Structure 1
Amino acid sequence: MEKRQEILVEAGGAILMPNMKLLWEIQVLDMHRRVLEERLKDQTVPAELKNLKNSIDLAQEELKETREEYGRLKMEMRLFDQEDVQMREQIACIERELREGLPPGARDHVTLQRVRTLKENLQRLEERSASLTAVMERIHRRIEEQALCLIRHKEKYRRLQATYQLNVENIRKTLAQIPLARQRLIDAVDSGLWKRYVQLRTRFQDPVGRVAKGICHGCGMPVPFNDLKRLKMNDGMVHCANCGRLLYWERTERRC
Structure 2
Amino acid sequence: MACRARLKPRGAAFPWPVTALPRPGATPSYLGPHSCFHRRRLATSSAAPEAPPARWHADLKTRLGKCIIFGCTPPQVQRAAGVLRAVAQEWRTLTAGSEGFLTGGLRGLEDQAVVWGEMDSFQHVNNATYIRYAESARVNWITHFASVDPSHGSEWRKLMTPRATGLILKSIKADYKFHRRIAARTEEDIVIYDYKAASKTTMPPFVLGVFQDTWQRQVDEMARARQRIWQLVGEVESLEKETWNREDAVEDLGAAA
TM-score (norm 1): 0.29
More strand by percentage: 2
Say which one has the larger Rg: 1
